[in-house]
Homo-oligomer: A and B are copies of this chain.
Amino acid sequence: MKVAIMGYGTIGSGVAKVLDVNRDVIADHLGDTLDLKYILDLRDFPDDPHKDLFVKDYMDIVNDSEVQIVVETMGGVNPAYEFVKAMLLAGKSVTTSNKALVADKGVELTKIAAEHNCNFVFEAAVGGGIPIIRTINACLTADIIEEVSAICNGTTNYMLTKMEKNGSDYADVLKEAQDLGYAEKDPTADVEGFDSCRKIAILTSLITGHQVKFEKIPTQGISKISAVDFKYAKAMNRSIKLLARAVKTGDTYTCRVAPFMLPEDHTLFHVSGVMNAVYIRGNMLGDSMYYGAGAGSLPTASAVAADMVFLARNTNRVVPVKWDEQELAIGDNMAETYRFFVRTGASQSEIEEVFGNVEYANLDLDDETGFVTEMISESSFEQLSKSLGEIKSYIRLA
């Protein structure tokens, strides 16, 4: 079976490597080989072992009826959207690792695929090598999903782990992550939580079957987390992780991306470094967790290649995906309830006057007090914070 790769960067070149190195095991699963026929990239790779396969015009792939499966690993919404759409319209199945594309255009591309007797899949778009998409679509199909909490960004988890272990501050850790290639030169998408936000939007879409607009999910990153926050966390036997969450609330889900303080017995407490994990609670299944490398060339490419096996197994058959264009009315974020960890310059009597019964996490700092509220709603917290004034920072407890 002939296949093509669009975008020969970190992940695309990884896919080519997986197809080479694991050619036999793939053929064994499939009863057929996956033969790479084209690589689309505007750059030249004169020393690459696949140098004869490069093309610069995506129409070369569209027009070759021999190609049945196309990989999109270009990243970004445009021109990936245009290229992928053209492939699907030509009846070629597509797998992508591109969360921006899937969050923005996934429902439309899924529909186009079904209309043209092919499939659009995206296992690698969330959680890298972790098979979380297929787990939701094909495994947890008899449960009402009550909660998804994901550590789904390796860059930020690496940074938070370093801050925790070394007591370092945010800026130093960011520089180190950039030097090591774990963070991009412009790290905004990772550190401000936008990447995690797209991923939880995709997962929530698949769970509900409706379109979740990532723009509507309150998203807070880790750029305001400091070494002092970690000192407080340590004093409370907690860890700070950037979670992307969807929690069942009545008939819908409430979504949020934010740093959370996790207790030691939380399933995600020990997920450290660049590793990712997705916690899912079902009403029958109870707790479950899926852990693995959330980024990196080969782990992500492994998921893309597994998608290719899936597509090859399902040629000329549309595998139904529960995802329609109706927008999900996501739950009221102001009604979410949490215990909040708060750092303030206010006095203990002022704190208690406003927040009532609190738990102190005192580090004996001169100019501030740390405390944890009782379980209160976001809207209460907003009001009470204004009453107290002087709030330096706060982190929700999970």
Q: A interface vs B, CB < 8 Å?
A: 14, 17-18, 21-22, 25-26, 28-31, 123, 129-131, 134-135, 138-144, 209, 267, 269-270, 275, 282-293, 296, 298-299, 301-303, 305-306, 308-310, 313, 320, 322
Contacts and interface: CB of A to CB of B under 8 A. Distances in A.
A288 B291 contact: yes
A129 B285 contact: yes
A89 B115 CA distance: 36
Contacts of A306: 139-143
A21 to B, nearest CB: 7
- Identical chains bound together, number: 2
B135 A131 contact: yes
Nearest to A208: B28
Given A282-B302, A290-B290, 16 more contacts: A26-B142, A28-B322, A30-B141, A123-B139, A129-B285, A131-B139, A135-B135, A138-B138, A141-B305, A142-B306, A142-B308, A143-B306, A284-B305, A285-B302, A287-B293, A289-B292
A300 to B, nearest CB: 9
Contact of A284 (B21, B130, B138, B289): B21
A277 B308 CA distance: 27
Contacts of A289: 289-292
B299 A286 contact: yes
A115 to B, nearest CB: 18
Contacts of A305: 141-142, 284
A70 B296 CA distance: 42
A308 B284 CA distance: 15
B285 A142 contact: no
A313 B142 CA distance: 13
Contacts of A309: 141-142
A22 B140 CA distance: 12
